[in-house]
Structure 1
Amino acid sequence: MAVGCDLEVDVNGEETFMVDKKIISSYSGRLRKLFGKSTGSARNIKVIFNDFPGGAESFELFSRFCYNNGRIDTTPCNISLLHCAAQFMEMNNSVSGSQNLMEQTEKSLQEINDWTWSELLMIIKQCQGLFPSVDSSPILEKCMDSIIGRISLYSESSPCLSTSSLDSSGIRVSCDSRSTESLKSSFSRATWWFEDLLVLSLDLVEMVIKSMVLQKFDNAIISKFLMYYQKSKFYTATLDEKRKLVETVIDMLYILDWNSVLCKSLFEILRVALSLNISKCSRNKLESMIGSQLDQAALDNLLIPSPHGMAHLYDINLVLRFLKAFLHDGKSQVTSMRLKKVARLMDLYMGEVAPDPCLKPSKFLALAVALPDSARDSYDEIYHATDIYLEVHSGLSEEEKMKIYCVLNCEKLSAEARNHLSQNKKFSSKSAVKALKSQQLKLKSLLQGTNNLKGNGGSPSSLGEMRSRGKTNEAGEQIVLYASKFELSDSEKLRAHLQGMQCRVMELEKVCRKMQTQITKIMKSRVSSHSNARSLPKLCS
């Protein structure tokens, strides 16, 4: 058969090919549609492709297939180019009984388990470079499945795996007499694949991570890879690429077990994200993850500068959102121990932000009352932070001062702190006394509620119990009366009375706890015995 060159093909402006129109079009449905059914011998026909997948290299492979009567050796080096060329040129029909190119590439994919690790990575890299108009997903999906399978298999099988061993068909364990030096230059057992997968685009990384999650990979290893990938790609990326990179990493970390992600890593992402103006959705996800691990954070992590345009030094609103996320964490239980760790952290944070002259009273109060009273065994740090804040913000109104005084639980102050408080001139104002009286009234209300609870349980069954109740009521009234005797004009008397009042508060609290314990025992005893004839034990000796 005579072979002519009556067709000129310009491929993406890279290279021009002179080919036989009849031979080429017999294998390409796209060209047959272009030329129609004409069999004329018109010359100087030119076709321009601006989006041929794989460019000149791919078209040359396609031409070889056509000139070789529909036969070509399909290898890992060319399979993706041949597959995409066949798809672009619509080579779905067999010619003269020969197998079409699409069928040949699909058949070659069945041998994917025999390909080396390097060949798989090369194919994936080729697929990423092809034009997006061509669907290379069948090859990509099979390669990605093979990649993930080998990561899982080799990570479990070889404690000192080197990348060179992956280029063999089997698993080679290189732990000979030179193992010490070998380990220094090879990847660790769990993370040997990190650097190799840097060739993946962001979309493919997302595909890999989702597949790993479905296959129950170790979430801690996945999170480390995401951090490694983000750091490796970040500095060479454009601003938009950086934003997309950080958002994708956050989205992928969010679907993992949050406890597997290091708190330190989350704060590293946060500091990067704050400068990129990431989406609100991604920011909320990141804040939720950080909030869930707030008990693992350090003070330096929280000292984040306030957003541009804000007067105060630190981003108080961000920390308040962390606290909200911590208290409403649905993925892990907020235990008493975790709560107290966060309270200690917040005490330190309040002491750090208190000297800020631009910090509004409402924000300082929000930090102080964000956690329940049970989170703190001592209010000494809160008192010191409050003392600093009042010293810096001497121009507060009496109403604002009173609100700040009320955040202190004087009962949980140490003797040293109470002594300091009694001599502190900032707490000798009228509003301070009102705040202390308010605390005592709340205490009296609590005491009356406790007595009512006891009264509902039945009438006293012994003279000792009646005396006990009388003593408790008398103590409560004495404390309230004691507070009412303050002379607002005499600061020295106020300090002296304050010390006495704190001691009485502690005594009363002990009585209340003892009453509650005894009442609980009484009720349990009644339920178990079903008898009303048994006399109640004394509440107080």
Structure 2
Amino acid sequence: MDDYLLDLEVDVNGEEVFMVNKGIISSYSGRINKLLSKSKGATCNLKVIFNDFPGGAANFELITRFCYNKGKININPFNISNLTCCAQFMEMNKSISATENLCEQTEKSLEEIKYWTWSELLVALKQCEDLLPFSCSLSILDKLLDSLIMRIASSCETSPCQSISSSDSSGFRLSCDTRSTESLKNTSFRATWWFEDLVALNTDLIEMLVKLMVSRNFDTGIISRFLFYYQKSRFVSVSVDEKIKIVEKVIEMLYSLDVSSVSYKSLFGMLRVCSNINLSQSCRENLECMIGSQLDRASLDNLLVPSPIGTSYLYDVNLVLRFLKSFLGKGVCCVPLSRMKKVGSLLDLYLAEVAPDPYLKPSKFLALITALPNSARDSCDGVYHAVNLYLEVHSGLSEQQKMKVCFGLNYEKLSSETFNHLAQNAKFPSKSAVQALISQQRKLKGLLQDTNEATSPCSSLVTTHKGRKDEGGSEQQIVLYAKKFNITDENDKLKAHLQGMQWRVLELEKVCRKMQIQMTKIMKSRLLSQSNAKSVPKLCS
């Protein structure tokens, strides 16, 4: 280089200043040639300043060596990414022969990518990472990622130590050298052996890799497992800001996958990670949406998330309410009943866990009870026991507050045993017991109506009349059943069904009468114990 006139000064990204021969450099670089053509007639040394040269000073020196060596350089997997990006930046594809055209030389060398080893492929990809975002606009990055995915996909079908394109058995050297022969026989290992090797890549390259995998119909379950592995591995030695970037990118990529193929346990693990870092609101919403949409896969332990710092209540009830909102999604009709009932059972368990929390407000507790439609529960006994526990812990609630909590109970879905318990339960407001009796009688009337409708084709009718008053002074509804059924043998099944309904109505009548008697006794005892007499609502028949 000392034999040439150094008449051009090049400042590369503020890192280093090079003195080069403008004639030699410009003969290979169309970009330099255009810049010098604008300064014809200048007598002093010229200066070119690059602020965005790919790879900085080290790569500019690589380019000058190519120019001073008359367009000759050894292109290999360890420098091809740098040479490709620099050649494109310097426009080294003009005004020279094909043999001296660096762009064409690198393009030709890329045709040999199928013969590269796995480790050589990773080195070239890592170089592209350092050249972002410039390398994104070049075909070399697409070719490297494409080759990577082909080898990963191929390894799921064959042993990862086999070379897919040549006799060079080191094609998957980085992973195979540290694994035993027996472990290679494991199907799970064959699907995940590449995880560790790709952890070194940054999130931008991983995002491009995942998008390409999805477009090639790659197993989304394997992709999601890799993303969780990637996040966990990268967290070991990065700053808080870098952790936020990694988590947000991983959640964004997981959100683009089929959520049913994503590990539900790992999503809750990610939720715990997010509680310690300041993520964007949209990112948190995406994660909660993924969890909530599959809430029927959750367990009680999953939902018992501690409340955020600065709050007094024990568990994050607001989080569970957001999960329920995501689960219902576009509407109740869009959720299969079987899934709805699973979530109903899970929520009943959750209600029992949070009910003893002395700081849980009645409005939040009621919101949990009413979050799901009535169809989610065949029985409301679980809700009743949770409400009973809540009222026991929150004994200081006013009568009005108690009524608001009890408003969430569907009394028509309480069992006979629970009705008996409610009738003797002093923790519940008296109006609740009355409401329970009203609901019970509505149920009886509904059964009678069904029986009437079922027997309408027959000659006999099912009727009711008011009978004598019980001990509490309330009139009882007595059921007069059909006399004789003039039905043919073809209606034997209908007859058996009607008889079963009649027995059920009789049993319910007995329970109702017993409850009314008990309620009357309880109310009388309350009146005697109170110094100031209060009006007691009359029991409805």
The aligned residue for residue 404 of structure 1 is 405
**Secondary structure at 1:199 match in 2:** coil
The aligned residue for residue 523 of structure 2 is 489
Structure 1 position 318, deviation (Å): 1.5
> Does 2:495 align with 1:461?
no
Closer, same or farther: CA 82–203 of 1 in aligned 2, 3 Å: same
The aligned residue for residue 257 of structure 1 is 258
Structure 1 position 195, deviation (Å): 1.0
Closer, same or farther: CA 333–212 of 1 in aligned 2, 3 Å: farther
The aligned residue for residue 296 of structure 1 is 297
Equivalent residue in structure 2 for 1:179, among 181, 201, 208: 181
**What amino acid maps onto 1:179 in structure 2?**
T
> 2 CA distance for matches of 1:89 and 1:354?
70
The aligned residue for residue 434 of structure 1 is 434
The aligned residue for residue 204 of structure 2 is 203
Structure 1 position 98, deviation (Å): 4.7
Structure 1 position 333, deviation (Å): 8.0
Question: 2:119–2:172: 8 Å Cα contact kept in structure 1?
Answer: no
Question: 1:9–1:46: 8 Å Cα contact kept in structure 2?
Answer: yes
Question: 2:11–2:49: 8 Å Cα contact kept in structure 1?
Answer: yes
> 2 CA distance for matches of 1:308 and 1:174?
46
**Secondary structure at 1:489 match in 2:** helix
> 2 CA distance for matches of 1:278 and 1:120?
34
**Secondary structure at 2:9 match in 1:** strand
Q: Percent identity?
A: 55
**Secondary structure at 1:463 match in 2:** coil
> 1 CA distance for matches of 2:437 and 2:76?
87
Question: 2:306–2:315: 8 Å Cα contact kept in structure 1?
Answer: yes
Question: 1:406–1:439: 8 Å Cα contact kept in structure 2?
Answer: no
- Unmatched runs of 5 consecutive residues or more in structure 1: 494-541
> 1 CA distance for matches of 2:509 and 2:184?
79
Closer, same or farther: CA 97–327 of 1 in aligned 2, 3 Å: closer
Structure 1 position 125, deviation (Å): 0.9
> 1 CA distance for matches of 2:422 and 2:328?
31
Structure 1 position 138, deviation (Å): 1.4
The aligned residue for residue 64 of structure 2 is 63
Closer, same or farther: CA 369–321 of 1 in aligned 2, 3 Å: same
Question: 2:13–2:50: 8 Å Cα contact kept in structure 1?
Answer: yes
Closer, same or farther: CA 309–446 of 1 in aligned 2, 3 Å: farther
CA deviation map 1:315-345 (0-9, x unaligned): 2122122123223379998555544432332
> 1 CA distance for matches of 2:167 and 2:386?
59
**Secondary structure at 1:195 match in 2:** helix
Number of equivalent positions: 486
- Unmatched runs of 5 consecutive residues or more in structure 2: 464-479, 484-500, 528-541
Question: 2:406–2:432: 8 Å Cα contact kept in structure 1?
Answer: yes
The aligned residue for residue 345 of structure 1 is 346
The aligned residue for residue 6 of structure 2 is 5
Closer, same or farther: CA 332–292 of 1 in aligned 2, 3 Å: farther
> 2 CA distance for matches of 1:402 and 1:330?
28
The aligned residue for residue 242 of structure 1 is 243
> 2 CA distance for matches of 1:18 and 1:287?
57
Structure 1 position 430, deviation (Å): 2.2
The aligned residue for residue 467 of structure 2 is none
Structure 1 position 290, deviation (Å): 1.0
**What amino acid maps onto 1:117 in structure 2?**
W
What is the TM-score when the length of structure 1 is the normalising length?
A: 0.77
> 2 CA distance for matches of 1:171 and 1:50?
38
Question: 1:58–1:81: 8 Å Cα contact kept in structure 2?
Answer: yes
CA deviation map 1:438-469 (0-9, x unaligned): 323542563465367558xxx44233767646
> Does 2:391 align with 1:390?
yes
Closer, same or farther: CA 17–454 of 1 in aligned 2, 3 Å: same
What is the TM-score when the length of structure 2 is the normalising length?
A: 0.77
Question: 1:378–1:414: 8 Å Cα contact kept in structure 2?
Answer: yes
Q: How does 1:206-355 map to 2 (within 5 A)?
A: 206-328=207-329, 334-355=335-356
Question: 2:199–2:230: 8 Å Cα contact kept in structure 1?
Answer: yes
**Secondary structure at 1:9 match in 2:** strand
> 2 CA distance for matches of 1:310 and 1:336?
35
Closer, same or farther: CA 179–87 of 1 in aligned 2, 3 Å: closer
The aligned residue for residue 363 of structure 1 is 364
